[in-house]
């Protein structure tokens, strides 16, 4: 009995030393073309992936999961007679769950999109960056799960051409300068880590660069909803390189968005076969195999098929 008692006490001490009290925070992130260090070319589109998360709530949720585990183990020790109810109550008093405090970014009268800007070391970036989605909600509630994502883009057909050079770009979310902030909304300033992007003059197109261009244009058109155009680019990409994991995943997503479920299923199976043969190029941004398995099973259900053993593994 004493051994269990001391072990439980040690666990509680460890928990309280590792997990510090977390507070609601707004953490923002930025990737361009799926990476944090990018080479692109004059006239190519650029896809900005913006993420928002409440790291304080995520930390609190992890803490609560650990506390709930310890409370369950405590009940087992009482049930087995290893410790008394009195001893257990002393431990319960130290195992307090934290309240998950959400962060609300934006409001009906002040949409979150009005708080977002992109910066370089010289100030606000004056590129023609536009939000790709339409009808986005004005407010985002960030609690203990995951991150909210949004996609912005610099269109290849835009009126302003990005000049060659090396740029550092950060995402900034700020309420500075706003006279009246709606009640309950997050206030403050949060800046992402910078993304380094080098814009070069497009050289003579080799097959490797044609493949890269097809993937970049296909991914951009997929996220802006130009699915037919995206499919054309990505079909060209897989013709150039039939073992490009990234191209097959993006093609599958495009076909799924078009409602071509059979073709999408074939593309995801192609990607799964490639993934199984060898590790992907670390520079690629294709999703991990778990994603492929989930996507395959989802499409099979929508087609009324029995999920294969491969997709259930």
SS3 letters across the chain: CHHHHHHHHHHHHHHHHHCCCCCCCCEEEEEECCECEEEEECCCCEEEEEEEECHHHHHHHHHHHHHHHHHHHHHHHHHHCCCCHHHHHHHHCCCCCCCCCCEEECECCECHHHHEEEEECCEECCCCEEECCCCCCCCEEECCCCCEEEEEEECCCCCCCCCCEEEEEEEEEECCCCCCCCCCCCCCEEECCCEEEEEECCCCCCHHHHHHHHHHHHHHHHHHCCHHHHHHHHHHHHHHCCCCHHHHHHHHHHHHHCCCHHHHHHHHHHHHHHHHHCCCCCCCCCCCHHHHHHHHHHHHHHCCCCCCHHHHC
> What confidence score (pLDDT) does residue 288 get?
56
> What confidence score (pLDDT) does residue 280 get?
54
Residue among 183, 16, 202, 194 at smallest CA distance from 108? 183
> What confidence score (pLDDT) does residue 10 get?
42
> What confidence score (pLDDT) does residue 11 get?
42
Average the pLDDT over 295-306 and give the result.
92
Confidence of residue 140 (pLDDT cuts 50, 70, 90): very high
Could you tell me which residue, 125 or 1, shows the higher pLDDT?
Answer: 125
Could you tell me which residue, 83 or 28, shows the higher pLDDT?
Answer: 28
- Whether the per-residue pLDDT at 246 is higher than 90: the answer is yes
Average the pLDDT over 195-223 and give the result.
95
Could you tell me which residue, 25 or 309, shows the higher pLDDT?
Answer: 25
> What confidence score (pLDDT) does residue 59 get?
81
Contacts of residue 74, defined as CB under 8 A and 6 or more positions apart, other chains included, come to 8, 83, 88, 91, 92, 95
- Give, to the nearest 10 degrees, the angle between helix 55-80 and helix 2-18: 170
In degrees, rounded to 5, the angle at the alpha carbon of residue 294 between the alpha carbons of residues 227 and 286 is 55
**Which segment of 42-46, 71-75, 156-160, 291-295 scores lowest on mean pLDDT?**
156-160
- Whether the per-residue pLDDT at 206 is higher than 70: the answer is yes
- Whether the per-residue pLDDT at 95 is higher than 80: the answer is yes
Confidence of residue 17 (pLDDT cuts 50, 70, 90): very low
- Whether the per-residue pLDDT at 127 is higher than 50: the answer is yes
Are 149 and 49 spatial neighbours (Cβ–Cβ below 8 Å)? Answer: yes
Are 91 and 74 spatial neighbours (Cβ–Cβ below 8 Å)? Answer: yes
Confidence of residue 287 (pLDDT cuts 50, 70, 90): low
Confidence of residue 94 (pLDDT cuts 50, 70, 90): confident
d(CA 76, CA 43): 64
* CA distance readout (Å), 172 to 50, 115, 143, 193: 10, 8, 20, 10
CATH classification code of 204-313: 1.25.40.10
Average the pLDDT over 143-148 and give the result.
83
**Which segment of 15-24, 81-90, 182-191 scores lowest on mean pLDDT?**
15-24
> What confidence score (pLDDT) does residue 278 get?
65
> What confidence score (pLDDT) does residue 18 get?
43
Mean of the per-residue pLDDT values for the chain?
Answer: 85
**What percentage of the chain has pLDDT greater than the value 70?**
85
Contacts of residue 240, defined as CB under 8 A and 6 or more positions apart, other chains included, come to 207, 210, 211, 214
pTM (predicted TM-score): 0.78
Average the pLDDT over 21-49 and give the result.
88
Average the pLDDT over 91-115 and give the result.
89
> What confidence score (pLDDT) does residue 60 get?
81
> What confidence score (pLDDT) does residue 8 get?
43
Residue 295: CB atoms within 10 A of its CB come to 22
Token duo for residue 19: 């997990």
Average the pLDDT over 213-231 and give the result.
96
């Amino acid at each position: 009995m004493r051994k269990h008692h001391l072990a439980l006490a040690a666990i509680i001490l460890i928990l309280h030393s590792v997990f510090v009290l977390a507070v609601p925070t707004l953490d923002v992130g930025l990737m361009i073309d799926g990476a944090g260090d990018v080479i692109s070319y004059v006239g190519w589109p650029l896809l900005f992936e913006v993420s928002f998360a409440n790291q304080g709530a995520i930390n609190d949720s992890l803490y609560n999961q650990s506390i709930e585990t310890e409370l369950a183990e405590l009940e087992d020790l009482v049930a087995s007679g290893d410790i008394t109810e009195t001893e257990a109550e002393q431990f319960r008093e130290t195992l307090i769950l934290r309240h998950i405090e959400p962060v609300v970014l934006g409001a009906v009268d002040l949409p979150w999109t009005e708080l977002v800007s992109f910066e370089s070391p010289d100030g606000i970036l004056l590129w023609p960056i536009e939000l790709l989605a339409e009808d986005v909600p004005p407010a985002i509630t960030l609690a203990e799960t995951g991150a909210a994502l949004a996609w912005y883009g610099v269109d290849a057909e835009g009126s302003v051409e990005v000049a060659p050079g090396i740029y550092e770009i950060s995402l900034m979310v700020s309420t500075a300068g706003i006279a009246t902030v709606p009640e309950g909304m997050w206030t403050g300033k949060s800046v992402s880590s910078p993304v380094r992007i080098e814009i070069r003059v497009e050289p003579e197109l080799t097959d490797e660069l044609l493949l890269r261009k097809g993937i970049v244009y296909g991914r951009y058109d997929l996220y802006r909803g130009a699915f037919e155009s995206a499919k054309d680019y990505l079909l060209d990409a897989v013709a150039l390189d039939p073992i490009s994991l990234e191209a097959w995943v993006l093609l599958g997503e495009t076909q799924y968005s078009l409602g071509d479920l059979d073709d999408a299923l074939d593309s995801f199976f192609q990607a799964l076969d490639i993934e199984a043969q060898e590790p992907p190029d670390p520079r690629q941004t294709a999703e991990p195999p778990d994603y492929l398995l989930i996507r395959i099973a989802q499409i099979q259900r929508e087609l009324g098929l029995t999920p294969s053993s491969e997709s259930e593994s």
